[in-house]
């Protein structure tokens, strides 16, 4: 069904806002990358008294948090600390705007993402390169030496024919819920069974643990596309009320290094 003029206008306005915040994020990040050691020092100080970058507030505080973030961004950021705060505000506003748009009018949400992709194509920006100093800040050295979970590809950033959402509103997952719940190894046989019966996965919680800490996620929902591809929407602990889309390949790669939690129902 064609969008009404009001829907197209709303999508255009939202796309312009998100694009503006994404560009602001890169502009501030370019400055922070110019001095990795100073960034690591500022991040260490900020992490003690502030929520993680891009963190999400409780739902009843969402509207006031959005208003405050928008107001804060009107003040020019010049120091590394101010730029890091500005990036956090931009990331939060992007996530909140897309989540609320998906909840309010899914057709507008899809059109917003198409327009946003078009804006990035029309106004590309070049990211700056980071030159590492000879002596690394301890936090920077630790981060560079840490093993990383591969970046999960999502059908979001540059798909102009997007027919399914990048993310969906979902019940958040906290590390308190994970607690000390018993764990069951996810064997090769278990993964094969999940591939045959993906409908068993929603609400299952999985966890992976390394020297860097614990990462937990819940399968919020699954979606089958027109070409029969299965998409998985995952909520990660501590990352707010949002389920992010993962392809089957990425999901099962993540599952192969995880354990299933036995949580009370």
pLDDT at 49 over 70: no
Output the pLDDT for position 242: 82
Q: What are the backbone dihedrals phi and psi of residue 50, each rounded to the nearest 5 degrees, phi first?
A: -130, 155
pLDDT at 140 over 60: no
pLDDT digits (tens, 9 = 90+) for 164-213: 677 777 888 887 777 777 888 888 888 888 988 888 898 899 988 765 56
pLDDT higher at 263 or 220: 220
Does the global pTM surpass 0.85?
no
Best-predicted range by mean pLDDT (66-80, 125-139, 234-248): 66-80
Q: Report, as an integer, the average pLDDT of 91-102.
A: 86
pLDDT band at 32 (very low <50, low <70, confident <90, very high): confident
Cα angle, residue 148 at apex, residues 55 and 144 outer, rounded to 5°: 95
pLDDT higher at 47 or 97: 97
pLDDT higher at 145 or 194: 194
Q: Which residue, among 249, 257, 237, has the nearest Cα to 185 in the 3D structure?
A: 257
Contacts of 153 (CB under 8 A, 6+ apart): 246, 247, 250
Output the pLDDT for position 153: 45
Output the pLDDT for position 47: 63
Neighbours of 215 (CB within 10 A): 19
Exposure on the CB side of residue 10, measured as CA atoms within 13 A? 17
Q: Report, as an integer, the average pLDDT of 30-35.
A: 84
Q: Report, as an integer, the average pLDDT of 224-240.
A: 83
Query: Which two tokens mark 221?
Result: 């929902």
């Amino acid at each position: 069904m064609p969008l009404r003029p009001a829907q197209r206008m709303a999508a255009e306005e939202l796309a312009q806002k998100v694009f503006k915040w994404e560009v602001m994020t890169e502009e501030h990040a370019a400055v922070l990358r110019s001095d990795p050691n100073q960034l690591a020092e500022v991040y260490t100080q900020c992490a003690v008294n502030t929520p993680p970058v891009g963190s999400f507030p409780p739902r009843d505080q969402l509207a006031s948090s959005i208003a405050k973030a928008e107001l804060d961004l009107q003040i020019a950021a010049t120091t590394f600390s101010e730029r890091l705060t500005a990036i956090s505000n931009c990331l939060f506003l992007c996530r909140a705007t897309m989540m609320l748009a998906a909840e309010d009018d899914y057709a507008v949400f899809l059109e917003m993402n198409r327009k946003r992709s078009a804006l990035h194509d029309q106004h590309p920006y070049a990211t700056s390169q980071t030159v590492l100093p000879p002596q690394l800040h301890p936090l920077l050295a630790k981060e560079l030496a840490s093993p990383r979970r591969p970046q999960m590809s999502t059908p979001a950033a540059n798909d102009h024919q997007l027919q399914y959402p990048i993310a969906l509103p979902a019940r958040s997952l906290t590390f308190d819920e994970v607690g000390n719940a018993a764990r069951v190894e996810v064997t090769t046989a278990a993964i094969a069974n999940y591939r045959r019966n993906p409908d068993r996965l929603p609400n299952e919680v999985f966890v992976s643990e390394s020297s860097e800490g614990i990462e937990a996620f819940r399968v919020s929902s699954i979606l089958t596309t027109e070409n029969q591809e299965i998409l998985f929407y995952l909520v990660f602990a501590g990352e707010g009320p949002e389920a992010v889309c993962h392809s089957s390949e990425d999901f099962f790669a993540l599952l192969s290094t995880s354990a299933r939690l036995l949580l009370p129902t």
